[in-house]
Amino acid sequence: MPTSSEVPLPPASGAWREGDPPGRRQWHVREKPLALESGGELPGVRLAFETWGRLAPDRSNAVLVLHALTGDSHVAGPAGPGHPTPGWWDGLVGPGRALDTNRFFVVAPNVLGGCQGSTGPSSPRPDGRPWGSSFPFLTQRDQVAAEADWADALGIDRWALVIGGSMGGMRAVEWAVTHPERTGALLLLATTAAASAEQIAWAAVQLHALQGDPHWSGGDYHDAGPGRGPHAGLGLARRLAHITYRSEPELRTRFGRAPQGTEDPWSGGRYQVESYLDHHADKLVRRFDAGSYLTLTQAMNSHDVGRDRGGVRAALRRVTARTLVAAVGSDRLYPPSQQAELAAGISTADHLRLVESPYGHDGFLIEVEQVAALVRELLP
């Protein structure tokens, strides 16, 4: 095992950068500037995406999969050059699986503002320097607008299914409200019609941690050397977030008060649960960008499907897709009451479904078989 001194320092940003292995990524570049909800615009928008299966001649078999905050386009497949982690829903996509690639053309973009090949704070702006602090404020609607342009380029007029959980679910419901004619079926998992005060509060603490890092440099750190990015702030934000992603019973059962190995908490050592959080923090700083974390978190905070549409209820009445809404029973970040509001407000939704899981919010990623059953119900 390498010692801590042998572990290489993380780069200033864990973003995918030009010259890195492309992996399975493809790209779409929008030639025209993208008008933003804030009133500004973003030139040179590029979306990275991955596909599985083949598009049918009548283009009726396309499924859109939308990732959560620190996800990316790599829904399925192993880790490897260009992909630091395995597919985050690998058990859902492939021949004979719920998203059967012998039947469906499954596509997943890296969200606008992300850091794994799509335009975001780590990307070059027109003068060639990283966007950094000058990257504009984005909303979920801006991200869906970029995705709609990308779908046009793929020749997909209507999705057989749009599926997303957490932040991906925010974009999924925006797709169904903004483009009801393009959304054939809809699966919303552990998400909400509008970010709540508590969700914004948790996010605010994370962003304070991030921006308080002395290496944050106002958001312009991307060209700093290894070990000189805002790693402490991003790591602390990840630790805070990860506590909300899991449930108290799971943490209690899994870790209790046990120390980490031979470490003595009374002498500066760690408990197992501390080591667990440290591990997830270290993983994230090596594969993600702090600027994207800020941009996407702010976009999540802005999420309100009813904004300028007469409120949430009026907006949800626009949805025409056959819809399933599922809650994770142990989710304390996106409580089931939020999914109940979605199910009650969408006239084409069946009754609220419950994903049984001890894992909290992350249950929508972990309980793949239960999610697969919901997909098969919508795509028999």
Instruction: Supply the CATH number for residue 370's domain.
Output: 3.40.50.1820
What is the residue whose two structure tokens read 């002395």?
A: 214
Provide, rounded to the nearest whole percent, the portion of the chain with pLDDT above 90.
Answer: 96
pLDDT digits (tens, 9 = 90+) for 296-309: 999 999 999 999 99
What is the residue whose two structure tokens read 């990283």?
A: 130
pLDDT digits (tens, 9 = 90+) for 29-52: 998 999 999 999 999 899 999 999
Catalytic residue among 73, 122, 123, 166: 166
Whether residue 108 has pLDDT greater than 60: yes
What is the residue whose two structure tokens read 């046990």?
A: 258
Whether residue 139 has pLDDT greater than 60: yes
- Give the list of residues 6+ apart from residue 62 with CB closer than 8 angstroms, or none: 55, 104, 105, 106, 107, 154, 156, 158, 159, 160
Secondary element (H or E) of residue 325: strand 322-328
Contact 314, 287 (CB under 8 A): no
Burial 64-92 (b: 16+ CB within 10 A, else e): bbbbbbbbbbbbbbeeeeebbeebbbeeb
**Residue 3: pLDDT band by 50, 70, 90 thresholds?**
very low
What's the token pair of residue 21?
């292995």
Can you give the pTM of this predicted structure?
A: 0.96
- Give the list of residues 6+ apart from residue 322 with CB closer than 8 angstroms, or none: 184, 185, 186, 348, 378
Is 166 catalytic? The answer is: yes
Is the Cα dihedral 309, 311, 312, 317 positive or negative? negative
Is 350 catalytic? The answer is: no
Is 133 catalytic? The answer is: no
Q: Which domain holds residue 110?
A: 4-378
DSSP assignment letter at 372: H
What's the token pair of residue 18?
């030009």
C-alpha to C-alpha distance for 172 and 310, rounded to whole angstroms: 19
In total, how many domains does the chain have? 1
Catalytic residue among 123, 331, 357, 362: 331
Provide, rounded to the nearest whole percent, the portion of the chain with pLDDT above 70.
Answer: 99
pLDDT digits (tens, 9 = 90+) for 153-174: 999 999 999 999 999 999 999 9
CA neighbor of 195 nearest in space, from 66, 326, 301: 301
What's the token pair of residue 93?
């996509």
C-alpha to C-alpha distance for 378 and 380, rounded to whole angstroms: 6
Whether residue 337 has pLDDT greater than 60: yes
Residue 1 has what pLDDT?
Answer: 39
DSSP bridge partners of 322: 185
